[in-house]
């Protein structure tokens, strides 16, 4: 994979990130070692994520790693804090900024979608249950009233027959 392809891939992944919760300005310089080597930066500023194929000398955090590891971090399949602790990436600067990028990457709309679909499911179930219970109640009421009416009619007929026999 070339350096340009790596930067393009990170740019695409970063486009979907919501950095509105990040209040401070943070600049990450990322140095790729091995195949596709080069340096680029990821900047979080005013709720936006900017990726550029240049070094950022006044960075808050510098990450040195292979292209595969950087891509895995940005697509969410690798934890940057764990990668740092395990020596898969090397970090220079404020390690708390590594946690910020981890939270930013792991907080996309996946969780929100799950909650919404669960809520919709619950509402649908409630509606179905309500409709079912309404129907059941109506049937029960209808059957009760039908049975009561039949009994009353039968009782009236019996009384009328009895009265006719008695009058003869």
Share of the chain above pLDDT 70, in %: 64
pLDDT at 111: 41
Whether 168 maps to a domain, the answer reads no
Who wins on pLDDT, 19 or 70? 70
Which residue would you say has higher pLDDT here, 119 or 72? 72
Domain finish residue from 90, 108, 126: 108
Q: What residues contact 111, with CB distance under 8 A and at least 6 apart?
A: none
For the record, the structure tokens of 135 come out as 């129907």
Residues 78 and 144 in one domain: no
Beta bridge partners of 62: 29, 92
Nearest alpha carbon to residue 9 among 44, 47, 36, 34:
36
Same domain as 57, residue 29: yes
Query: Containing domain of residue 154, as a range?
Result: 109-163
Query: Are 26 and 46 contacting, i.e. CB atoms less than 8 angstroms apart?
Result: no
Q: Which two tokens stand for residue 45?
A: 């500023």
Instruction: Return the CATH number at 62.
Output: 3.30.1050.10
Q: Is 20 found in the same domain as 93? A: yes
Establish if 97 belongs to a structural domain. yes
If one counts the domains in the chain, the total is 2
Q: Are residues 136 and 65 in the same domain?
A: no
Look at residues 63, 83, 108 and tell me which one is the last residue of a structural domain: 108
Question: What pTM was computed for the model?
Answer: 0.62
Q: Is 74 exposed, middle or buried (0-12, 13-18, 19+ CB in 10 A)?
A: buried
Q: Give the closest residue to 10 by CA, choosing from 65, 59, 83.
A: 65
Whether residue 67 contacts residue 30, with contact meaning beta carbons closer than 8 Å, is answered with no
Instruction: State pLDDT tens for residues 116-152.
Output: 444 444 454 444 444 555 545 555 544 555 555 555 5
| Same domain (yes/no): 128, 148 | yes
């Amino acid at each position: 994979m070339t350096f340009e392809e790596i930067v393009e891939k990170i740019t695409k992944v970063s486009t979907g990130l919501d950095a509105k919760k990040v209040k401070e300005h943070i600049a990450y310089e990322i140095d790729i070692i091995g195949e596709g080597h080069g340096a680029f930066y990821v900047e979080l500023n005013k709720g936006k994520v900017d990726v550029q194929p240049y070094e950022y000398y006044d960075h808050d955090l510098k990450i040195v790693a292979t292209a595969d590891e950087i891509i895995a971090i940005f697509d969410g399949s690798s934890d940057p804090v764990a990668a740092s602790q395990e020596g898969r990436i090397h970090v220079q600067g404020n390690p708390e900024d590594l946690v910020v990028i981890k939270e930013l990457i792991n907080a996309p709309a996946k969780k929100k979608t799950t909650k919404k679909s669960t809520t919709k499911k619950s509402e649908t179930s409630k509606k179905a249950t309500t409709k079912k219970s309404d129907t059941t109640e109506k049937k029960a009421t209808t059957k009760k009233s039908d049975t009561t009416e039949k009994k009353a009619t039968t009782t009236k007929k019996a009384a009328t027959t009895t009265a006719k026999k008695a009058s003869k």
